[in-house]
Chains A and B, each alone.
Chain A
Amino acid sequence: MSEPWEEEGPGTIKKFMYVNRKAPYGTIYALESLEVVLIAAAFEQDVSMAFLDDGVYQLKKGQDTKGIGQKNFSPTYRALEGYDVEKLYVEAESLADRGLSEDDLLVPVEVMSREALAELMNEQDVILSF
């Protein structure tokens, strides 16, 4: 089976959404998602990232991992813009459940309702879950 980006002729751009639902550091999902996002960006696809449920914790300001001996990968979210990954969507309900607001996040995002995010998911060609 060909890869999604090979199914049609060269130059085809598909909408890829990366859905992030896991907190950072406790599992490897958040870091792996970033790695794969950068790969898709290299293929010049229409990439967006959605942060919902515990995934919103990935964007929390002030992460300091010195004490746990793991790499603090949170600055990478600020570097995404340089790879033309500029569409970061955060679910409002997930923030509210966690007592967080947009000011708690380390990068500019678009906060949207669960309903609006669901619509956006429907518009995608490919959704990858982390």
Chain B
Amino acid sequence: MSMLHTVNKSPFERNTLVSCLGHATAGSAILLIEDGVYGALEGTAHSDLLRGALADHSVYVLGPDLNARGMTDDQIIEGVSVVDYGGFVDLTEKHEKVQAWL
């Protein structure tokens, strides 16, 4: 049974990402969307959070949300994959369930 977790809040404003990572079991996937994409950026006060999660999770970030906020693929943490809306759909299809962290 594999789970896809989505996070849509900035790690600077809410503890949503921390809580998600605390509950996501090994092997589950994490997709950052909307303001959650700030959690995928390299060189911030919260970058270590997500870097730590890469050891036992596959982590994705939604490209259109990244670009809307003036960020590009080369600014994200190494190991995080950028997906488009089609990729989002593929992820939901590939995993049995989706847990949305709001």
Contacts and interface: CB of A to CB of B under 8 A. Distances in A.
Interface stretch (B20-28, B42-50, B51-59, B92-100): B42-50
Interface string A60-79: 11111111101010100000
B70 A60 contact: yes
Contacts, number: 75
* Chain A, interface SS category: loop
A62 B72 contact: yes
Given A25-B35, A54-B38, A67-B63, A97 B44 contact: yes
Nearest to A104: B70
Interface residues of A, number: 26
Given A25-B35, A97-B45, A68 B70 contact: no
Contacts of B42: 99
Contacts of A27: 35
Interface of B: 8-10, 12-13, 34-35, 38, 41-45, 47, 63-65, 67-72, 84-85
